[in-house]
Amino acid sequence: MYKRWSAVMFPLTTLLLIGALVWGYQVNKQKNAIMIKAENQYQRAFHDLSYHVERLHGELGNTLAVRSASDGMHRKGLVNVWRLTSEAQNEINQLPLALLPFSETEEFLSKISNFSYKAAVRDFTKKPLTEGELNNLKELYKSSGEISKDLQEVQNKVIDNRLRWVDVDLALASDEEPSDNTIIDGFKTVDKRVSAYPELDYGPSVASIYDTRSVKKLGGAPVTAENIKTKAAKFAGAGSGAKIEVRENGKGTEWASYTATVSGPQGTVPISMDFTTKGGLLISYNENREVGTARVSMKKAVSKAQEFLKQKGYPNMTAVRADRYDNLGNLTFVTDKDGVLIYPEKMTVRVGLDTGEVTGFQANDYVNEHDDNREIPKPELSLAEARKFLNSDFKELYNRLAWIENDDAEEMLTYEFGGRINGSQYRIYLNASDGNEEAVEEIRTSSGAQDK
């Protein structure tokens, strides 16, 4: 019996062993193929990065080589600079640098890209390159040359020593030191050099992109948790039996705030509110009740939301956008000052369409941008004169005056025209002084959306 059992099991075991070896070989083969493919992609991205940074240095030199009045060549050069920095940023994102400090270089390239783009798209006949911008280009030319030289040194070592990027990837992921850390040391050297560069003044249009607005920039005296309790109780209309808990968030950071939770009698839904630590300004309100079947129209929801804001101390707010998502209405309100819509002072309000009652809002933009002393000039163009700057095929649905912030971070008075063209709906903002198109926005409507 043992012989018969052995006669069956021995071939079976042999087959299983052979199968395991074949399977292991196939898995190892596939693993090696994946690593070779990854290595090829890393090598291509790295060598392309070195090439494009070198080209960037050369293009900055070309832009500086022409006379200061060569608007056409300046525009062409800046467009090429923007394109090359965008390529370099894309290649950095393809390298395994997530765990390696390289943020200074990435931000440096990002600022060059935004600076060159903002400058290239403007009208040079009205706004030629300033002396400060030309000085910036000289500094960027010098800096990009140094970065290019450092990257080329790393590139030469990678080629001469046949270094592999996959080793860097594995080492960074496992917190182990690679056998040769030339690549890591090279990129750390580049980032350290960039961090030592003087901060350039790229102008408000670029600075606004990196401006991390926070409630710390607000005026007003610091408030206490007791002050927040009082404010929360008043806003929520809480009775004497309500329980109010206040929690401080991010103490010691620039995002410090208070969260107040108001709980009423058993069975009622708690209300959560966030306040600034300076001035105790309300930045969000949230009532987490379950919303039932929609029975209220969007028009009624807008009306009830507007009344809610008025009662809570936000008068003169006008809805400029109304979107419906199932049984909720998401409404955008801005300040209406003497017939001019102040778009920077924006807040979004959420309404339950079962009753039309407000269930929450976000007022970060309103809190940061609200200014009672903002002076709005009179439009220099009449409405009829402004219309002449519209596309002749544009079918106007409405018009109004709007105070906006353009792409150069400049606030200005515009004529806002809402209408249709090419089968889509748009808002077009024309400068009220010269008719220049300051912004164009396509209105992508969701279910039940209304352009107000």
Predicted pLDDT of residue 212: 53
Closest CA to 82 of 46, 107, 58, 56: 56
Equal CATH topology for 215-288 and 383-451: yes
Residue 404 clears pLDDT 90, i.e. is over it: yes
Chain-centroid distance, C-alpha 382: 36
- Predicted local confidence at residue 92, as pLDDT: 85
260 pairs with which residues across the strands? 246, 273
Q: 118 with 206: CB under 8 angstroms?
A: yes
Which has the higher per-residue pLDDT, 386 or 445? Answer: 386
Ranked by mean pLDDT, which of 213-217, 251-255, 380-384 comes out on top? 380-384
Q: Does 114 score more than 70 pLDDT?
A: yes
- pLDDT value of position 7: 57
The Cα angle at residue 314 between residues 310 and 319, in degrees rounded to 5:
80
> Of 113-117, 119-123, 283-287, 367-371, where does mean pLDDT reach its minimum?
119-123
Identity of the highest mean pLDDT range in 97-106, 177-186, 337-346? 337-346
Low-confidence winner among 209-223, 326-340, 352-366 (lowest mean pLDDT):
209-223
Q: Which residue has the tokens 């509110």?
A: 273
1 has pLDDT over 90 = no
Summarize the confidence of residues 74-81 as an average pLDDT.
89
Contacts with 338 (C-beta within 8 Å, 6 or more apart), sequence order: 376
The model's confidence at residue 266, banded by pLDDT at 50, 70 and 90, is low
Q: What is the Cα gyration radius of the chain?
A: 30
Return the CATH number of the domain spanning residue range 383-451: 3.10.450
Angstrom distance (rounded) from CA 292 to CA 299: 18
Residue 291 has pLDDT above 50, yes or no: yes
Instruction: Tell me which DSSP letter residue 228 carries.
Output: H
Nearest to 224 by CA among 195, 260, 191: 260
Contact 220, 281 (CB under 8 A): yes
At 424 the pLDDT is 92
Phi, psi torsion values for 449, nearest 5 degrees: -70, 150
CA dist., res. 243 & res. 236, Å (int): 12
Closest CA to 443 of 415, 424, 417: 424
Nearest C-alpha neighbor of 185 from the set 101, 123, 129, 103: 101
Q: What is the pLDDT of residue 410?
A: 85
Structure-token pair, residue 241 = 């039996």
Evaluate whether 259 touches 252 at the Cβ level (below 8 Å): no
- Residues 179-225: pLDDT tens digits? 457 787 888 888 888 888 888 877 766 776 666 554 445 667 889 99
Q: Topology of 215-288 in CATH?
A: Nuclear Transport Factor 2; Chain: A, (3.10.450)
Q: What is the per-residue burial (b if ≥16 Cβ within 10 Å, else e) of 350-376? A: bbbbbbbbbbbbbbbbbbbbbeeeeee
Name the token pair of 203.
């102008």
Is residue 416 helix, strand or coil? strand
pLDDT over 70 at 2, yes or no: no
Number of H helices, E strands in the chain: 11, 13
Tokens of 199: 């901060």
> Which of the four pLDDT bands, split at 50, 70 and 90, describes residue 269?
confident
Residue linked to tokens 């990065």: 49
Q: Phi, psi at residue 137, to the nearest 5°?
A: -60, -35
Higher pLDDT, residue 204 or 314: 314
**Cβ(163)–Cβ(183) under 8 Å?**
yes
Tens-digit pLDDT profile for residues 37-60: 777 888 888 889 889 999 999 999
The percent of residues above 70 in pLDDT, for the chain, comes to 83
Query: Please, which pLDDT band fits residue 8 given cuts at 50, 70 and 90?
Result: low
Q: How many Cβ atoms from other residues are within 10 Å of residue 377's Cβ?
A: 11
Residue spans of the domains in the chain: they are 16-210, 215-288, 383-451
The confidence band for 34, taking pLDDT boundaries of 50, 70 and 90, is: low
Query: What is the arithmetic mean of pLDDT over 212-240?
Result: 78
Contacts 24+ apart (CB under 8 A), 340-344: 340/376, 340/401, 340/402, 340/403, 340/413, 341/400, 341/401, 341/402, 341/403, 341/416, 342/369, 342/374, 342/403, 343/402, 343/403, 343/404, 343/405, 344/369, 344/403, 344/404, 344/405, 344/411
Highest averaged pLDDT of the listed ranges 6-20, 366-380, 435-449? 366-380
More confident residue, 154 or 3: 154
Q: 212 or 227, which is more confident?
A: 227
8 A C-beta contact, residue 168 and residue 179: no
Give the C-alpha distances (Å, rounded to integers) separating 350 from 285, 289, 293.
10, 12, 15
Closest residue by Cα to residue 118 from 410, 432, 430: 410
Give the pLDDT band (50/70/90) at residue 408.
confident
Least confident of 196-205, 287-296, 430-439: 196-205
Instruction: Find all residues with CB under 8 Å of 415, minimum gap 6, and list them.
Output: 379, 381, 383, 386, 399, 400, 401, 402, 429, 430, 432
